[in-house]
Structure 1
Amino acid sequence: MKVELTISGNNHPAIKAAVSQNGEPVNAADEVLFEWWRSGEKKHQKVEIKEGKNGIYTLKTHDLKPGKYVVISHVTARGMHTMPKKEFSVK
């Protein structure tokens, strides 16, 4: 299973996990959970995304304070689990 994690947008970024296996999109993952937090803070936000379209699971964020953030996507599908991590900034 492959998960490509991308973040787009500045003030209200959209966090996307593109989930595929053997080059085919995975639309029925067992779990896609986004966990994110502002660098230096202990409080983490977690949101589970139930549905994907063409293997893409999207979280639209809002009300994020300016600063650097870290996001981990917890993805379980077809007996596999992966947790890609990425950093992003909000201006």
Structure 2
Amino acid sequence: MKKWIVLMLSLLLLAACADEDASAGAGDTLEQVEVEFNIAETADPGDELVLSAAVSQGGEAIEDADEVVFEVWESGDRGHSEMLEAVHTESGVYEHTWTFDEEGVYFIQAHTTARRMHVMPKMELTVGDPDPESIVPDDSDDADAMHEMGH
């Protein structure tokens, strides 16, 4: 009889430990993927610029992002945006070289997919000295959007 009691207590103890281990990570959430632009906010027409962004998570550089694509469009003309695929250069930095030929205000959005998350931060770039009357603010609500992707 003692053997059965010891056996049952052992099984209960093992089951309790297994439940505790399984629930230990249940409340944990993934840290957000961060994208930081390394681009000046102004440029001159005809200058070749390096569109650059550092991708990280929890302070650690992401060397293996699934995708980093810079979407570039002129103020008021998102329908004619350019999608520019970035290349990983070093320490979580992704780049694409581009020339802005005309004066204007441009928007650059880094569509970034890494670690089953998709983030889309956006920045504004002023090229030359554009006519303030020609600038159309970008009021789309997708700036700084973050989506966790399904499995």
TM-score (norm 1): 0.88
Instruction: Tell me what 2:38 maps to.
Output: 6
Following the alignment from structure 2 to structure 1, what is the Cα–Cα distance between the partners of residues 61 and 101?
Answer: 30
Instruction: Tell me what 2:94 maps to.
Output: 57
How far does residue 13 in structure 1 lie from its aligned partner after superposition?
A: 2.6
- Shifted more, 79-88 versus 39-48: the winner is 39-48
- Shifted more, 5-14 versus 32-41: the winner is 5-14
Measured against aligned partners, the alpha-carbon deviations of 1:5-53 in whole angstroms (never above 9, x if no partner) come to: 2323623332211101111111110000100011122310001124241
Moved beyond 6 Å, runs of 4+: none
8 Å contact from structure 1 (residues 35, 47) kept in 2: yes
Measured on the aligned residues, the alpha-carbon RMSD in Å equals: 1.5
Identity of aligned residues (%): 38
Instruction: Tell me what 2:8 maps to.
Output: none
Q: Give ranges in structure 1 of 5+ residues lacking alignment.
A: none
TM-score (norm 2): 0.56
Larger Rg: 2
Following the alignment from structure 2 to structure 1, what is the Cα–Cα distance between the partners of residues 92 and 115?
Answer: 13
**Equivalent pairs, count:** 91
8 Å contact from structure 1 (residues 6, 16) kept in 2: yes
Mapped pair 1:80 → 2:123: no
Q: Give ranges in structure 2 of 5+ residues lacking alignment.
A: 1-32, 129-151
> Which structure features the higher share of helix residues?
2
